[in-house]
Structure 1
Amino acid sequence: MIADLKPYPEYRAAEGGWLGDVPAHWGVRRTKYLLRETDRRSTTGEEQLLRVSQYTGVTQRNSAYGPEGIGTRADSLVGYKCVEPDDLVINIMLAWNGSMGVSRYAGISSPAYCVYRLNPDAQPWYYHHLLRSPAYKARIKASSTGVVESRLRLYSDDLGRIEALVPPPAEQAAIVRFLDWVNGRLERAIRAKRIVIALLGEQKQAIIHRAVTRGLDPAVPLKPSGIPWLGEIPAHWEVRRAKQLCAEIIDCKNRTPELIDDGEYIVVRTTNIRNGRFNPKGSYATNRANFLLWTQRGAPRRGDVFFTREAPVGEACHVPAAHNLCMGQRMMFFRPNTSELNASFLLHSIYGPLVRRYIDIEANGSTVGHLRLGQVTGLPLLWCPLEEQERIVNYIESQSQPLEYATSRLEREIDLLREYRTRLVADVVTGKLDVREAAARLPFEASLDIIEHDNDPVDAADITDEEMIVA
């Protein structure tokens, strides 16, 4: 069906110039004529808290902070902006990267956001897709107020001046129906691949768990570990604390270095670290003065292991081979004593059952799960002689390599599906492809929510940034 889509029979040049040619029967109007800003505030702060993401639009902020956590650092949610289903919510500080969307939910959002209600002849979900398309993100960025990218703000007057495409209402509905069908198909394919990735991750985790708690010799004599739920460990192994095996354990300062757009130093954030891997996406730049200030206690270097003590707690990875790294808030690093502890063995141990259970117990009960410095230095580690650690590391790497390859291939396939979806949505909402006949032939299907993924982690640093503007 998608392969049979064709352009519209007739086009014309759109008003404003930047939109290019559009279907001849489509209108173009200033956005201010299609929506109005609303500013109703919560009087109780008890409504569902919503978040806005460039990846997933408006979602319910499920508590990654424990069952009692509200998912924000604000003392109270009274005064947060009320959102109704089909309202458009925009993070004015990040609108330029697509951090906006139409809400499926009633709830409340940060006071730093703008909330808009669309006119009856404007189909909300058509404009959800249109405003998040690459062409409109570029236009929003150019229309935003500010000198540098990190300081851009999209105020209501800026938004209102942007030209919006206006297909006939029935055609807007047909476009939304078609895109719901496409997104459902693609999302099911993505979820199926995610399930396989999760199974591969569980298989790798089982390899790590066994190796870092029992070693490689199945005939080795065992002894009680002294930890009831852990059971027995090899007789020559010991339970030690991180502070006994590390030359240094360096905590971050109590706030994040200032963002400097042309800075040459990289600020590592908790968003950069997931499942033992370092991903530079989400980091930002700062300058040498900040670097020197934030690394007074020590700068991370190759051979160290990063550790997040909050949001989410307990993620770790090797420090990448770079000399211009400094840590953002809630970050730490371990510097193993190389005569006692192999850095890769430490990393695997952090994801082993002993440390995971310790983190679950120690971080439990706080609104935003976290570990204090003393709790991190007290991490319990199963220790064995260095030569044995190295054999265990080599074994884990050899057994995990096929799993890592398969995972990387699946993640690349997911990326390609997402890229295809972005291109197709953009072509449909801007009139490059005519979907009217295809939409009329579609069976009714319930829409499938877009899931969050690893490129869009919930990070307390982002939550704090949302609310800084109203401080």
Structure 2
Amino acid sequence: MIHALTPYPAMKDSGVPWLGQVPEHWDVVPALAAYKSRGIKNTGMVEKTVLSLSYGRIVIKPEEKLRGLVPESFETYQIVEPGNIIVRTTDLQNDKNSLRIGHAKDRGIITSAYLCLETTDRVLNEFGYQYLNAYDLLKIIYGYGSGLRQNLDFKDIRRMPVLVPSHDEQAAIVRYLDYADRRIRRTIAAKQKLIKLLQEQKQVIIHQAVTRGLDPDVKLKPSGVEWLGNVPEGWKVKRLKAEMYNLNPVRVPLSSTERGRMTTREYDYYGASGIIDKVDDYLFDDDLLLIAEDGANLVLRNLPLAVIARGKFWVNNHAHILKPIEGKLEYFAAVLEQINYLPWITGSAQPKLTRDRLMAVKIPVPPVDEQEAITEAISNTTLPLSSAIQRTQQEISLLREYRTRLIADLVTGKLDVRGVAAQLPELDAALPEEELDVEIDTDLEGDEPETEAAEALA
């Protein structure tokens, strides 16, 4: 797709180090000439549809999520119109991974902690969004901001350089990006479906092994556990507390030198469900099994629930830390990954899997030598599937990198699309929306982690 694009014939120095050379006929203007801040309060509750910035998209927030950290009145929120550009302005210093730019498709309200922008007459709306999107994807936006937590305000970006070609050229860039983006999304969606099928096949193999063993002719007996069904006659069914210790985190006071050493990756970091977390002073040097405490992760199953941690590592206090009394760590990890934890989760606003409930879960327990045989068989049988999953995930990562580079190169004038865009076929208007609606820049789903807190403080 990109091979047909060529550089512009005449370039000039933009005067901005990171932008470098730009097309000679493009203007370089301050952001205040391209964008203007809205900030229209929802006084009188004229609008009730609550919007949320969710990993680079502006989505309607379901009513069931309007709980926990929310304001007393949504009158403090600001009104958003379709086409408005939302910038998450908070906590630049501590969070350099999230996507911060969204393009509104619906009318609604969003926290006043965010910037709501519209474009001026000089800039087409979609081009204005893609330009800021490039700033976000390239992490240039983190060079702006003020205050202790590096929050953004329009005054912080009003002098930010913006490249402005003619309206016709902006439209050509937008058309090409839309065309390319649809195909990239469709390809990623197909690869994500493949990963899902491979994971399902892998789970079938694991489930069969940890609940029935390796002998297809073995005699079975009722387990008395609904999710488990029948188990081999020689196996026992026990509560987890009979097979594993549930350890309390070991709190270790850290000196400033030791805290600094954490950043050198001398230790690994583990959190609930394997999320790499910023943690303080929980230290282990062992082979342990971590289980999420967070009920949302356990129900949605977006992440692995049973994570084996080895060696020296830090772990946050939102993970249950388990160690076998006797038996194979890998076997227990495989079993605990199969369980539906929904009946064991308590709480609604902050659903959790408590220590007592986790340790009361019943699991199948074969003899130790059979546990070892099962884990070895699982490893050998699922290796081709795991390799295929990893290879497909790498392909998705390359597609995402390609998309980021393409957006950046086009909106900063590194490649000329004028001739190519005019020859593009009509867009796939009939393409099913679900084939395009993929998480293009992250494998996670749901709200950005600080969204509710920001909305509560707005």
TM exceeding 0.5: yes
Could you tell me how far apart the structure 2 residues matched to 1:136 and 1:158 are? 19
Q: What is the rounded CA distance, in whole Å, between the counterparts of 1:462 and 1:38 in structure 2?
A: 25
TM-score by length of 1: 0.81
- Is the 8 Å Cα contact of residues 52 and 451 (structure 2) preserved in structure 1? no
Equivalent of 1:217 in 212, 215, 218 = 215
Match of 1:257 in 2: none
Number of matched pairs: 431
Using the TM superposition, give the Cα deviation of residue 301 of structure 1 relative to its aligned residue in structure 2, in angstroms: 4.1
Match of residue 373 from structure 2? 391
Which runs of structure 2 are paired with 1:173-192 in the superposition (5 Å)?
A: 173-192=171-190
2:237 and 2:362 in contact (8 A); partners too: yes
Pair 1:105 & 2:106 matched: yes
Task: Identify the match of residue 90 of structure 1 among 62, 73, 87.
Answer: 87
Residue identity matched to 1:325: W
User: Offset of 1:174 from its aligned partner?
Assistant: 1.4
Structure 2 matches for 1:61-460, cutoff 5 A? 68-70=64-66, 73-74=69-70, 78=74, 79-93=76-90, 98-133=99-134, 137-145=138-146, 151-228=149-226, 230-250=228-248, 262=260, 264=262, 268-270=270-272, 273=273, 278=274, 280=276, 283-284=277-278, 290-291=280-281, 295=282, 299-310=283-294, 311-313=296-298, 315-328=304-317, 330-337=318-325, 339=326, 341-352=327-338, 355-356=339-340, 359-363=341-345, 366-445=348-427, 446=429, 449=436, 451-452=438-439, 455-458=442-445
Unmatched 5+ stretches in structure 2: 252-257
* SS of aligned partner of 2:208: helix
1:144–1:115 CA distance, 2 compared to 1 (3 A): same
1:467 aligns with 454
Calculate the TM-score normalised by the size of structure 2.
Answer: 0.83
Give the RMSD, CA atoms, in angstroms.
3.2
Letter in 2 for 1:74: V
Q: Which amino acid aligns with 1:50?
A: S
Contact 1:52–1:91 (Cα < 8 Å) also in 2: no
Report the CA distance between 1:179 and its aligned residue: 0.3
| In structure 1, distance between residues paired with 2:447 and 2:17 | 41
Secondary structure of 2:116 counterpart: strand
CA contact (8 A) 2:306 2:336 kept: no
Give the secondary structure class of the aligned counterpart of 1:423.
helix
Matches of 1:467 and 1:378, distance apart in 2: 37
Letter in 1 for 2:23: P
How far apart are the structure 2 equivalents of 1:135 and 1:70? 27
Q: Deviations over 1:371-419 (max 9, x none)?
A: 2332222222112222111111111111110100111111111111111
How high is the sequence identity, in percent, across the aligned residues?
Answer: 30
In structure 1, distance between residues paired with 2:3 and 2:106: 34
Alpha-carbon shift at residue 154 of structure 1 (Å) = 2.0
How many Å separate the matches in 1 of 2:366 and 2:72? 48
The alpha-carbon deviation at position 230 of structure 1 amounts to: 4.0
Q: Secondary structure at the match of 1:320?
A: strand
Letter in 1 for 2:51: L
User: How far off is 1:318 after superposition?
Assistant: 3.4
Aligned residue for 2:290, secondary structure, equals strand
Q: In 2, distance between residues paired with 1:269 and 1:460? A: 19
CA, structure 1 residues 17+327, in 2 after alignment: closer, same or farther (shift >3 Å)? closer
Contact 2:289 / 2:309 at 8 angstroms: preserved in 1? no
State the shift of 1:167 in Å. 1.3
Q: CA deviation at 1:111?
A: 3.6
Q: What amino acid maps onto 2:359 in structure 1?
A: T
Question: Aligned with 1:304: secondary structure?
Answer: strand
The DSSP-based 3-state class of the residue aligned with 1:115 is: strand
Secondary structure of 2:178's partner? helix
SS at match of 2:363: strand
Q: Which residue of 1 aligns with 2:51?
A: 49
